[in-house]
Amino acid sequence: MARNRWSLAALVLAPLLALAACNETSRVSTQAEEEIGPAQLDEVPLQARALSGAVQAQDDVAALLAPEPLLVAPGQILVGARVGAALDEAASAMGMASNFVRSLRSEGEEALERLPEEIAGPLRLRAETEAADMARLAVRDQLGRLGVQGAVNERPGGLIEIDLRPGASPTALSMAQQGAVEAAGGAPVTMEWNETDRCPRFVTQGQLENDLALAMRCTIQRLRAANDFEFVEPNYVAASGFSLPPRQRPQSTPQQQPAPAPNTPAPAPVRLGGMPNDPLLALQWHYRARGTGEGQSPGGAGFTAFWDSDLVGARDVRVAILDTGLDLSHPEISRENVVSGADFISNPLRAGDGDGVDADANDAGDLCGSALENSYHGTHVAGTVGAATTNDRVGVAGGAWNVTIVPVRVLGRCGGELADIVSGIRWAAGLAPAIGDNGEQIVNQTPADIINMSLTIQAPCPASLQAAIDAAAARDVIVVVAAGNKADLTERYAPANCNNVLVVGSGDARGELAFYSNFGPQVDLIAPGGDLFADNDHDGRPDGVLSTRATQTGCYDPVNRASAERCYYSFQQGTSMAAPHVSAALALLAAQTGLRGAPLRDALMTRALAPHPAEFARITCARSRNAIPVSGGAEQCDRPSGRGALDLARALQ
């Protein structure tokens, strides 16, 4: 009887079948139906195996890929102080050697990296403080000349934040915008922004007082013309890319999921490698060896080869997840390898937790508009990197079992603001503290080696974002970013169009470019991102990436297909899901080699990629409005997607 029960479970929960990657309409032959983990699913409690995810209707593709407007936080402007120019003066005032002062003048902040942190830290802080003081005075002078009222505040790192809303009439917000606030349940207002709009040559005080967008344009133009600042730009609003709404209304919104029932087994001692016993590993095709044989997947990233070689990471490798935070009530988020993080969402409405910046990175939700439940996007991303407890006979496996996860909350209700993201990068890299609502400094005691940002802004790379990324890179931090999910050119989306980032496009289970993935010369590689609209192995489940995410929508027991009230695991798709695979791979390589920074990135790109086949991602031009025409290609277009696909197994050769 036990043998029959096990046979049934193995049949129902067979792994994603290897796919013969041909064209998008190819039918795939069935491979062996052996499970990659030893766990018997019918003997695992429901809470440890129930999951969510159904194949999505093709009718939803058009809405998913539809262009979205560029959004900004109304009335908010970011100004960069000239910190680099103040470094040499600060060094001279601190009595440093003249030759080092000269190197600061020629190299700027890069010269600081040659100093011990106990010297570089105070020098950087002094330069930032002095430069910010000068910038704040210059901003107030220009606002006065223009006749615009506004609050001017400093942020760590020499960033000045201007808020024009106190000086604007309530009529500055259109009725449509006010309706959007009500529809979002009180979430912060966002404003559509056109970079080409200019301030009129003649403008009255009344116009500035009653049109917030006009006041922003004129203020930005005036500040830029003053040439007193490193940069001047709107406070853009970023999105997580989680734009596909649930297709069924949940019974209730799962704000804080309860812990699993007491019959959930205690985690087994984690062994140092081998194939983990997590029961849902059979459905995580994205970790498998790349290929078409038994236990392989054409779109797999080769993690199982590392695990088989007893390479599961190390706690001294730190990955910061800049996202919606971490659902700390999730029963499988490891308490051993998740350290204290920070919440950088300064607007309490956007934060949804009743306060601003603090040391609590718990995901308080990101509901927006018609969304029926929180995305828990950051928890899904972190679970793939390694926040999910692996080899515990519960749920899913994570990519790097022993990595240290640093949660940094920068996305909340209806997205996240550029100023908060910039501050989050600097904090994650150990460059600047967070400043809480009460003025208390929150210092990062575990600066990251790798930063994962699965978020996008449809705009040229903002200067404030580039400056923060450059500063992190100068400290040997690798910044991994998602390419974006609009089947568009990556050059149109930040941070993927910034310098000093590792840009990840998305592959599907067939090993092909996912239909939604952005592409272009900026993309460095692809990694598994999945496809919720496909079921190429015909197992009744979507070919998405399975990871940690609590929900009450579409939950079912994979043993018997019976519906479940709630579950803690979900299939998702996107370059948001691809990027954490690369972050996890970097963490494993860092533990294996001891490398950090640029040498670690080079090791990934030279040792852990499967080169793309000839004409990879080529497509008929009519099927992609943004693909790049091939010269003499008879209506054929290319979608450049980097040098290859992530394949960790190659790093063992």
pLDDT tens track for 531-577: 999 998 888 899 999 999 999 999 999 999 899 999 999 999 999 99
Give the per-residue pLDDT at 279.
95
Cα separation of 377 and 631, whole Å?
A: 40
346 is catalytic: no
- Look up residue 636 and give its two tokens: 């054929």
Token pair recorded at residue 508: 């599907």
Contacts of 59 (CB under 8 A, 6+ apart): none
Predicted TM-score (pTM) of this structure:
0.89
| Residue of 52, 103, 576, 624 marked active site | 576
CATH no. for 2-65+245-652? 3.40.50.200
**Mean pLDDT estimate for the chain:** 86
405 within 8 A of 321, measured Cβ to Cβ: yes
pLDDT surpassing 60 at residue 488: yes
Tokens in use for 531? 């496809």
Active site residue 92: no
Q: What is the band of 41 on the pLDDT scale with cuts at 50, 70, 90?
A: confident
Q: How far apart are CA 649 and CA 290, in angstroms?
A: 8
Residue among 88, 240, 353, 377 flagged as catalytic: 377
Of 451, 441, 250, 452, give the one whose Cα is nearest residue 357.
Answer: 441
| Distance from C-alpha of 600 to C-alpha of 448, rounded to nearest angstrom | 14
The answer for residues whose C-beta is within 8 angstroms of residue 433's C-beta and 6 or more apart is 156, 427, 441, 442, 443, 444
Q: pLDDT tens digit string along 616-652?
A: 999 999 988 889 999 876 789 999 999 999 999 999 9
Average pLDDT over residues 262-266: 40
Considering only 45-59, 76-90, 286-300, which range has the smallest mean pLDDT? 76-90
The overall longest dimension of the chain from CA atoms, in Å, is 86
Per residue in 306-353, pLDDT (tens digit) is: 999 999 999 999 999 999 999 999 999 988 899 999 999 999 999 988
Residue 518 half-sphere exposure toward CB, CA atoms < 13 A: 33
Q: Out of 211, 228, 323, 638, which one is annotated catalytic?
A: 323
Of 121 and 435, more confident = 435
| pLDDT attached to residue 25 | 30
Helical residues (DSSP H) of 111-162, grouped into ranges: 117-146
**Ranges in the chain annotated CATH 3.40.50.200:** 2-65+245-652
Q: Quickly state the pLDDT bin for 140 (edges 50, 70, 90).
A: very high
Query: Is 323 noted as a catalytic residue in this protein?
Result: yes
pLDDT tens digits along 234-256: 999 999 876 544 444 333 333 34
